[in-house]
Amino acid sequence: MNFPFYIARRYLFSKKSHHAINVISGVSVCGIALATLALVCTLSVFNGFQDLVATMFTAFDPELKITSARGKVFDADDERIQLLRQLPEIDVFTQSLEDNAMVQYKGRQAMVVIKGVEENFNQLTAIDSVLYGRGQWCLHDEVVDYAVPGIELVSILGTGIKFLDPLEVYAPKRGVKINVANPMNSFQSDYLHSSGLVFAVNQQQYDASYILTSLSFARNLFQYDTQVSSIELKLDPDADIDAVKAYVKKLLGDDFLVCNRYEQQEDTFRIMEVEKLISYLFLTFILLIACFNVIGSLSILIIDKRVDVLTLCNLGADNRMISRIFLLEGCLISFLGALVGVVLGVSLCLLQQEFGFISLGSGDTAGSFVVDAYPVSVHFMDVLLVLITVLLVSFLSVQYPVRYLFKKL
Protein backbone atom coordinates (compact mmCIF):
# COMPACT_ATOMS: atom_id res chain seq x y z
CA MET A 1 0.00 0.00 0.00
CA ASN A 2 1.18 3.55 -0.76
CA PHE A 3 2.79 4.86 2.46
CA PRO A 4 1.30 8.44 2.42
CA PHE A 5 -2.14 7.00 1.71
CA TYR A 6 -1.76 4.47 4.54
CA ILE A 7 -0.84 7.20 7.05
CA ALA A 8 -3.63 9.51 5.79
CA ARG A 9 -6.17 6.71 6.19
CA ARG A 10 -4.96 6.01 9.70
CA TYR A 11 -5.24 9.69 10.61
CA LEU A 12 -8.79 9.82 9.25
CA PHE A 13 -10.19 6.91 11.26
CA SER A 14 -7.89 6.88 14.29
CA LYS A 15 -8.76 8.54 17.57
CA LYS A 16 -7.31 12.05 17.84
CA SER A 17 -5.71 13.56 20.94
CA HIS A 18 -8.57 16.05 21.14
CA HIS A 19 -12.15 14.86 20.68
CA ALA A 20 -13.04 18.17 19.00
CA ILE A 21 -10.90 17.19 15.98
CA ASN A 22 -13.05 14.10 15.43
CA VAL A 23 -16.21 16.22 15.70
CA ILE A 24 -14.91 18.81 13.22
CA SER A 25 -13.88 16.07 10.78
CA GLY A 26 -17.36 14.55 11.05
CA VAL A 27 -18.96 17.94 10.47
CA SER A 28 -16.72 18.41 7.42
CA VAL A 29 -17.85 15.10 5.95
CA CYS A 30 -21.52 15.98 6.63
CA GLY A 31 -21.12 19.42 5.05
CA ILE A 32 -19.62 17.98 1.87
CA ALA A 33 -22.26 15.23 1.83
CA LEU A 34 -25.16 17.70 2.14
CA ALA A 35 -23.77 19.94 -0.61
CA THR A 36 -23.28 16.90 -2.86
CA LEU A 37 -26.78 15.64 -2.08
CA ALA A 38 -28.24 19.06 -2.96
CA LEU A 39 -26.37 19.09 -6.27
CA VAL A 40 -27.50 15.58 -7.25
CA CYS A 41 -31.14 16.18 -6.28
CA THR A 42 -31.38 19.62 -7.91
CA LEU A 43 -29.87 18.52 -11.22
CA SER A 44 -32.07 15.41 -11.20
CA VAL A 45 -35.21 17.52 -10.69
CA PHE A 46 -34.25 19.69 -13.66
CA ASN A 47 -33.66 16.53 -15.69
CA GLY A 48 -37.08 15.29 -14.61
CA PHE A 49 -38.81 18.44 -15.82
CA GLN A 50 -36.88 18.33 -19.11
CA ASP A 51 -37.89 14.72 -19.66
CA LEU A 52 -41.47 15.60 -18.76
CA VAL A 53 -41.54 18.39 -21.35
CA ALA A 54 -40.03 16.00 -23.90
CA THR A 55 -42.92 13.57 -23.34
CA MET A 56 -45.43 16.37 -23.84
CA PHE A 57 -44.66 17.03 -27.49
CA THR A 58 -48.00 17.81 -29.00
CA ALA A 59 -49.84 17.31 -32.27
CA PHE A 60 -48.25 20.61 -33.28
CA ASP A 61 -44.74 19.17 -32.98
CA PRO A 62 -44.07 16.84 -35.95
CA GLU A 63 -40.97 14.68 -36.09
CA LEU A 64 -39.46 17.02 -38.69
CA LYS A 65 -40.65 20.50 -39.60
CA ILE A 66 -39.41 22.45 -42.62
CA THR A 67 -39.75 26.24 -42.63
CA SER A 68 -38.33 29.09 -44.67
CA ALA A 69 -35.02 30.55 -43.53
CA ARG A 70 -36.18 33.95 -44.80
CA GLY A 71 -39.74 35.13 -44.55
CA LYS A 72 -42.91 33.48 -43.27
CA VAL A 73 -43.91 31.44 -46.31
CA PHE A 74 -42.42 29.60 -49.28
CA ASP A 75 -43.70 28.00 -52.47
CA ALA A 76 -44.80 24.41 -51.86
CA ASP A 77 -44.35 23.68 -55.59
CA ASP A 78 -40.59 24.19 -55.35
CA GLU A 79 -38.77 21.28 -57.04
CA ARG A 80 -36.71 20.55 -53.94
CA ILE A 81 -39.88 20.27 -51.85
CA GLN A 82 -41.44 17.91 -54.35
CA LEU A 83 -38.37 15.66 -54.21
CA LEU A 84 -39.11 15.10 -50.52
CA ARG A 85 -42.32 13.25 -51.37
CA GLN A 86 -40.23 10.55 -53.07
CA LEU A 87 -38.04 9.76 -50.05
CA PRO A 88 -38.81 6.23 -48.80
CA GLU A 89 -38.12 7.22 -45.18
CA ILE A 90 -41.07 9.66 -45.14
CA ASP A 91 -44.33 8.10 -44.03
CA VAL A 92 -46.55 11.22 -43.96
CA PHE A 93 -45.97 14.46 -45.89
CA THR A 94 -48.34 17.34 -45.14
CA GLN A 95 -48.43 21.09 -45.75
CA SER A 96 -49.41 23.77 -43.27
CA LEU A 97 -50.12 27.50 -43.40
CA GLU A 98 -50.55 29.50 -40.24
CA ASP A 99 -50.85 33.20 -39.46
CA ASN A 100 -52.53 35.57 -37.03
CA ALA A 101 -56.17 36.53 -37.36
CA MET A 102 -59.05 37.85 -35.28
CA VAL A 103 -62.17 35.82 -34.57
CA GLN A 104 -65.52 37.05 -33.32
CA TYR A 105 -68.43 35.14 -31.86
CA LYS A 106 -71.56 36.93 -30.63
CA GLY A 107 -69.67 40.09 -29.72
CA ARG A 108 -66.68 38.32 -28.13
CA GLN A 109 -63.36 38.75 -29.90
CA ALA A 110 -59.96 37.10 -29.63
CA MET A 111 -56.66 37.14 -31.46
CA VAL A 112 -55.86 33.66 -32.69
CA VAL A 113 -53.52 31.69 -34.91
CA ILE A 114 -55.28 30.07 -37.85
CA LYS A 115 -53.46 26.86 -38.75
CA GLY A 116 -54.58 25.49 -42.10
CA VAL A 117 -53.66 21.84 -42.61
CA GLU A 118 -54.34 19.07 -45.08
CA GLU A 119 -56.78 16.25 -44.40
CA ASN A 120 -53.94 13.83 -43.61
CA PHE A 121 -52.88 15.95 -40.63
CA ASN A 122 -54.48 13.39 -38.33
CA GLN A 123 -52.00 10.82 -39.68
CA LEU A 124 -49.03 13.06 -38.90
CA THR A 125 -49.35 12.94 -35.11
CA ALA A 126 -51.66 11.43 -32.55
CA ILE A 127 -54.21 14.23 -32.95
CA ASP A 128 -57.09 11.84 -32.20
CA SER A 129 -55.78 11.42 -28.64
CA VAL A 130 -56.27 15.14 -27.87
CA LEU A 131 -59.63 15.66 -29.59
CA TYR A 132 -62.81 15.97 -27.51
CA GLY A 133 -66.41 16.13 -28.65
CA ARG A 134 -68.86 14.11 -30.71
CA GLY A 135 -67.83 15.22 -34.17
CA GLN A 136 -65.55 13.58 -36.71
CA TRP A 137 -62.23 14.78 -38.09
CA CYS A 138 -63.38 16.81 -41.08
CA LEU A 139 -62.00 20.24 -41.94
CA HIS A 140 -64.12 21.07 -44.99
CA ASP A 141 -66.73 19.76 -47.37
CA GLU A 142 -68.21 21.03 -50.62
CA VAL A 143 -70.02 23.90 -48.89
CA VAL A 144 -68.30 25.10 -45.70
CA ASP A 145 -65.04 24.93 -43.75
CA TYR A 146 -64.88 23.63 -40.19
CA ALA A 147 -62.91 24.75 -37.14
CA VAL A 148 -61.23 22.68 -34.42
CA PRO A 149 -60.39 25.28 -31.74
CA GLY A 150 -58.34 24.90 -28.58
CA ILE A 151 -60.31 24.16 -25.45
CA GLU A 152 -59.26 27.38 -23.67
CA LEU A 153 -60.16 29.45 -26.73
CA VAL A 154 -63.66 27.93 -26.60
CA SER A 155 -63.95 29.22 -23.05
CA ILE A 156 -62.68 32.68 -24.02
CA LEU A 157 -65.18 33.05 -26.85
CA GLY A 158 -67.99 31.29 -24.99
CA THR A 159 -68.86 29.11 -27.97
CA GLY A 160 -69.09 25.73 -26.31
CA ILE A 161 -67.78 22.62 -28.03
CA LYS A 162 -70.63 22.61 -30.52
CA PHE A 163 -71.54 26.14 -31.60
CA LEU A 164 -74.52 26.89 -33.83
CA ASP A 165 -73.50 30.24 -35.29
CA PRO A 166 -70.29 30.33 -37.36
CA LEU A 167 -67.11 32.05 -36.23
CA GLU A 168 -66.33 35.29 -38.03
CA VAL A 169 -62.65 35.37 -39.00
CA TYR A 170 -60.79 38.52 -40.06
CA ALA A 171 -57.28 38.95 -41.41
CA PRO A 172 -55.59 42.06 -42.87
CA LYS A 173 -55.37 42.11 -46.64
CA ARG A 174 -51.83 41.77 -47.89
CA GLY A 175 -50.30 44.93 -49.33
CA VAL A 176 -53.36 47.07 -48.55
CA LYS A 177 -53.24 50.16 -46.35
CA ILE A 178 -55.93 50.55 -43.74
CA ASN A 179 -58.74 52.80 -44.91
CA VAL A 180 -59.59 54.99 -41.93
CA ALA A 181 -62.98 55.92 -43.39
CA ASN A 182 -63.95 52.28 -43.88
CA PRO A 183 -61.44 50.01 -42.12
CA MET A 184 -63.41 46.83 -42.85
CA ASN A 185 -62.40 47.12 -46.52
CA SER A 186 -58.81 46.49 -45.37
CA PHE A 187 -59.66 43.06 -43.97
CA GLN A 188 -60.34 39.73 -45.57
CA SER A 189 -63.18 37.92 -43.80
CA ASP A 190 -64.66 34.45 -43.86
CA TYR A 191 -66.64 32.04 -41.69
CA LEU A 192 -65.77 28.82 -39.89
CA HIS A 193 -68.43 26.39 -38.74
CA SER A 194 -68.34 24.02 -35.80
CA SER A 195 -66.86 20.58 -36.34
CA GLY A 196 -68.14 19.41 -32.96
CA LEU A 197 -64.54 18.90 -31.83
CA VAL A 198 -62.01 20.78 -29.72
CA PHE A 199 -58.41 19.89 -28.90
CA ALA A 200 -56.55 20.03 -25.58
CA VAL A 201 -52.77 19.55 -25.53
CA ASN A 202 -52.26 21.09 -22.05
CA GLN A 203 -50.10 23.91 -23.39
CA GLN A 204 -51.61 27.38 -23.18
CA GLN A 205 -49.86 28.68 -26.28
CA TYR A 206 -51.91 26.21 -28.32
CA ASP A 207 -55.08 25.63 -26.29
CA ALA A 208 -55.81 29.35 -25.88
CA SER A 209 -54.96 30.66 -29.33
CA TYR A 210 -54.93 28.01 -32.10
CA ILE A 211 -57.70 27.01 -34.50
CA LEU A 212 -57.20 24.09 -36.86
CA THR A 213 -58.95 24.31 -40.20
CA SER A 214 -58.43 23.39 -43.84
CA LEU A 215 -55.41 24.53 -45.84
CA SER A 216 -57.67 25.91 -48.58
CA PHE A 217 -59.48 28.13 -46.04
CA ALA A 218 -56.19 29.52 -44.72
CA ARG A 219 -54.89 30.22 -48.22
CA ASN A 220 -58.08 32.05 -49.13
CA LEU A 221 -58.10 34.05 -45.89
CA PHE A 222 -54.43 35.07 -46.07
CA GLN A 223 -54.48 35.45 -49.88
CA TYR A 224 -51.90 32.87 -50.87
CA ASP A 225 -51.94 30.51 -53.84
CA THR A 226 -49.42 27.69 -53.43
CA GLN A 227 -47.47 29.09 -50.49
CA VAL A 228 -47.22 27.37 -47.12
CA SER A 229 -45.54 28.28 -43.86
CA SER A 230 -44.20 24.79 -43.17
CA ILE A 231 -43.88 21.23 -44.41
CA GLU A 232 -44.41 18.70 -41.63
CA LEU A 233 -43.08 15.16 -41.85
CA LYS A 234 -43.67 11.87 -40.10
CA LEU A 235 -40.93 9.34 -40.70
CA ASP A 236 -41.02 5.60 -41.07
CA PRO A 237 -40.65 3.91 -37.64
CA ASP A 238 -37.34 2.33 -38.73
CA ALA A 239 -35.88 5.60 -40.04
CA ASP A 240 -33.01 7.37 -38.29
CA ILE A 241 -34.35 10.86 -37.57
CA ASP A 242 -30.91 12.49 -37.39
CA ALA A 243 -29.76 10.90 -40.64
CA VAL A 244 -32.96 11.86 -42.47
CA LYS A 245 -32.76 15.39 -41.08
CA ALA A 246 -29.17 15.77 -42.32
CA TYR A 247 -30.11 14.46 -45.78
CA VAL A 248 -33.16 16.74 -46.05
CA LYS A 249 -31.08 19.72 -44.96
CA LYS A 250 -28.50 18.93 -47.63
CA LEU A 251 -31.24 18.47 -50.24
CA LEU A 252 -33.02 21.75 -49.50
CA GLY A 253 -29.95 23.93 -48.93
CA ASP A 254 -29.66 27.13 -46.91
CA ASP A 255 -33.05 28.49 -47.98
CA PHE A 256 -34.85 26.22 -45.51
CA LEU A 257 -34.67 25.29 -41.84
CA VAL A 258 -35.15 21.65 -40.83
CA CYS A 259 -36.03 21.19 -37.15
CA ASN A 260 -36.68 18.12 -35.05
CA ARG A 261 -39.06 18.20 -32.09
CA TYR A 262 -36.45 19.44 -29.62
CA GLU A 263 -35.42 22.28 -31.93
CA GLN A 264 -39.07 23.26 -32.43
CA GLN A 265 -39.23 23.80 -28.64
CA GLU A 266 -35.70 25.21 -28.51
CA ASP A 267 -36.59 28.25 -26.39
CA THR A 268 -38.18 26.11 -23.68
CA PHE A 269 -35.21 23.75 -23.45
CA ARG A 270 -32.69 26.61 -23.58
CA ILE A 271 -34.40 28.34 -20.65
CA MET A 272 -34.37 25.12 -18.65
CA GLU A 273 -30.68 24.55 -19.43
CA VAL A 274 -29.82 28.09 -18.28
CA GLU A 275 -31.79 27.61 -15.06
CA LYS A 276 -30.04 24.30 -14.49
CA LEU A 277 -26.62 25.91 -15.04
CA ILE A 278 -27.38 28.78 -12.64
CA SER A 279 -28.54 26.32 -9.97
CA TYR A 280 -25.39 24.26 -10.48
CA LEU A 281 -23.14 27.32 -10.08
CA PHE A 282 -25.05 28.51 -7.02
CA LEU A 283 -24.81 25.13 -5.29
CA THR A 284 -21.12 24.89 -6.22
CA PHE A 285 -20.62 28.17 -4.35
CA ILE A 286 -22.37 26.62 -1.33
CA LEU A 287 -20.05 23.62 -1.70
CA LEU A 288 -17.09 26.01 -1.59
CA ILE A 289 -18.37 27.38 1.72
CA ALA A 290 -18.75 23.83 3.04
CA CYS A 291 -15.10 23.22 2.16
CA PHE A 292 -14.07 25.75 4.82
CA ASN A 293 -14.94 23.03 7.33
CA VAL A 294 -12.41 20.77 5.59
CA ILE A 295 -9.82 23.55 5.70
CA GLY A 296 -10.42 24.06 9.43
CA SER A 297 -10.37 20.34 10.17
CA LEU A 298 -7.15 19.81 8.24
CA SER A 299 -5.48 22.84 9.82
CA ILE A 300 -6.20 21.57 13.33
CA LEU A 301 -5.02 18.07 12.37
CA ILE A 302 -1.72 19.41 11.02
CA ILE A 303 -1.11 21.30 14.25
CA ASP A 304 -2.11 18.26 16.33
CA LYS A 305 0.30 15.99 14.45
CA ARG A 306 3.42 18.12 14.80
CA VAL A 307 5.16 15.44 16.84
CA ASP A 308 4.32 12.79 14.25
CA VAL A 309 5.69 15.05 11.50
CA LEU A 310 9.01 15.43 13.34
CA THR A 311 9.18 11.67 13.90
CA LEU A 312 8.60 10.99 10.19
CA CYS A 313 11.26 13.55 9.26
CA ASN A 314 13.76 11.86 11.57
CA LEU A 315 12.92 8.52 9.92
CA GLY A 316 13.83 9.95 6.52
CA ALA A 317 10.53 11.28 5.16
CA ASP A 318 10.98 14.39 3.04
CA ASN A 319 8.72 17.43 2.96
CA ARG A 320 6.98 16.26 -0.23
CA MET A 321 5.93 12.97 1.33
CA ILE A 322 4.56 14.64 4.45
CA SER A 323 2.66 17.18 2.34
CA ARG A 324 1.13 14.31 0.38
CA ILE A 325 -0.05 12.70 3.62
CA PHE A 326 -2.11 15.73 4.61
CA LEU A 327 -3.27 16.39 1.04
CA LEU A 328 -4.57 12.84 0.90
CA GLU A 329 -6.16 13.32 4.31
CA GLY A 330 -8.14 16.30 3.01
CA CYS A 331 -9.04 14.44 -0.18
CA LEU A 332 -10.24 11.42 1.81
CA ILE A 333 -12.53 13.63 3.91
CA SER A 334 -13.93 15.18 0.74
CA PHE A 335 -14.25 11.85 -1.07
CA LEU A 336 -16.05 10.27 1.88
CA GLY A 337 -18.48 13.21 2.01
CA ALA A 338 -18.97 13.13 -1.77
CA LEU A 339 -19.60 9.37 -1.74
CA VAL A 340 -22.14 9.62 1.07
CA GLY A 341 -23.83 12.59 -0.66
CA VAL A 342 -24.05 10.82 -4.03
CA VAL A 343 -25.46 7.63 -2.47
CA LEU A 344 -28.04 9.56 -0.44
CA GLY A 345 -28.91 11.87 -3.36
CA VAL A 346 -29.38 9.05 -5.86
CA SER A 347 -31.36 7.05 -3.29
CA LEU A 348 -33.70 9.97 -2.58
CA CYS A 349 -34.21 10.55 -6.31
CA LEU A 350 -35.00 6.89 -6.94
CA LEU A 351 -37.44 6.85 -4.02
CA GLN A 352 -39.11 9.98 -5.41
CA GLN A 353 -39.34 8.32 -8.83
CA GLU A 354 -40.92 5.23 -7.36
CA PHE A 355 -43.21 6.64 -4.66
CA GLY A 356 -43.50 10.40 -5.40
CA PHE A 357 -43.56 11.36 -1.71
CA ILE A 358 -42.85 15.04 -2.50
CA SER A 359 -45.97 16.33 -4.26
CA LEU A 360 -46.36 19.39 -6.46
CA GLY A 361 -49.53 20.58 -4.76
CA SER A 362 -51.53 20.16 -1.61
CA GLY A 363 -55.04 20.96 -0.52
CA ASP A 364 -56.94 22.91 -3.17
CA THR A 365 -54.03 22.80 -5.63
CA ALA A 366 -53.65 19.02 -5.51
CA GLY A 367 -54.24 17.40 -8.88
CA SER A 368 -54.10 20.71 -10.76
CA PHE A 369 -50.69 19.99 -12.31
CA VAL A 370 -49.75 17.74 -15.21
CA VAL A 371 -48.05 15.39 -12.72
CA ASP A 372 -48.83 14.92 -9.04
CA ALA A 373 -45.24 14.67 -7.74
CA TYR A 374 -41.95 16.35 -8.58
CA PRO A 375 -40.48 14.55 -11.61
CA VAL A 376 -36.87 13.44 -11.18
CA SER A 377 -34.48 11.69 -13.53
CA VAL A 378 -30.99 10.62 -12.49
CA HIS A 379 -28.48 10.97 -15.33
CA PHE A 380 -25.12 9.27 -14.99
CA MET A 381 -23.25 12.19 -16.56
CA ASP A 382 -24.74 14.61 -14.02
CA VAL A 383 -23.73 12.37 -11.12
CA LEU A 384 -20.23 12.13 -12.59
CA LEU A 385 -20.13 15.93 -13.02
CA VAL A 386 -21.15 16.42 -9.37
CA LEU A 387 -18.51 13.97 -8.17
CA ILE A 388 -15.77 15.64 -10.23
CA THR A 389 -16.89 19.10 -9.08
CA VAL A 390 -16.84 18.13 -5.40
CA LEU A 391 -13.43 16.47 -5.62
CA LEU A 392 -11.92 19.32 -7.65
CA VAL A 393 -13.21 22.08 -5.35
CA SER A 394 -12.14 20.10 -2.29
CA PHE A 395 -8.67 19.39 -3.70
CA LEU A 396 -8.12 23.08 -4.38
CA SER A 397 -9.39 23.93 -0.89
CA VAL A 398 -6.91 21.71 0.97
CA GLN A 399 -3.94 23.22 -0.83
CA TYR A 400 -3.86 26.24 1.49
CA PRO A 401 -3.62 24.57 4.92
CA VAL A 402 -1.12 22.00 3.67
CA ARG A 403 1.22 24.44 1.93
CA TYR A 404 0.91 27.34 4.37
CA LEU A 405 0.68 25.67 7.78
CA PHE A 406 3.25 23.00 6.97
CA LYS A 407 5.84 25.75 6.50
CA LYS A 408 5.01 27.06 9.99
CA LEU A 409 5.74 23.75 11.71
Residues of the chain with pLDDT under 70: 1, 3-22, 56-59, 178-183, 303-310, 312, 314, 316-319, 361-371, 402, 404-409
Task: Examine the domain organization and report whether 192 and 102 are in the same domain.
Answer: yes
- Give the phi and the psi of residue 238 in degrees, each rounded to 5: -90, 0
Q: How far apart are CA 51 and CA 55, in angstroms?
A: 6
Q: Examine the domain organization and report whether 86 and 165 are in the same domain.
A: yes
| Domain-terminating residue out of 249, 264, 279 | 264
* pLDDT at site 61: 82
Domain, as residue range, for 92:
64-264
Q: What's the DSSP call for residue 403? A: I
What whole-number distance in Å separates Cα of residue 221 and Cα of residue 146?
14
What pLDDT was estimated at residue 222? 92
The Cα 275–Cα 49 span in angstroms is 12
380 and 337, same structural domain? Answer: yes
**How many other C-beta atoms are found inside a 10 Å radius of the C-beta of residue 44?**
25
Whether residue 92 is found in the same domain as residue 191: yes
pLDDT tens, position by position, 70-105: 889 999 888 888 888 888 899 999 999 999 999 999
Which of 209, 238, 264 terminates a domain? The answer is 264
Same domain membership, residue 205 and residue 114: yes
Query: What SS3 class is residue 108?
Result: strand
Q: Where are the alpha helices (DSSP H) in 253-379?
A: 261-264, 266-304, 306-314, 319-355
Both 136 and 202 in a single domain? yes
Residues 90 and 141 in one domain: yes
**b (16+ CB within 10 A) / e for 243-259:** ebbeebbeebeeebebb
How many domains, in total, are found in the chain?
A: 2
Q: What's the confidence (pLDDT) of residue 362?
A: 57
Same domain, 230 and 317: no
Q: 404 and 330, same structural domain?
A: yes
For residue 52, the tally of other CB atoms under 10 A from its CB is: 14
43 and 126 housed in the same domain: no
Within this chain, do residues 345 and 254 fall inside the same structural domain, yes or no? Answer: no
**Could you tell me which of 294, 283, 227, 302 has the C-alpha nearest to residue 67?**
227
* Residue finishing a domain among 264, 291, 319: 264
Same domain, 169 and 254: yes
Quote the pLDDT of residue 370. 61
pLDDT at residue number 177:
73
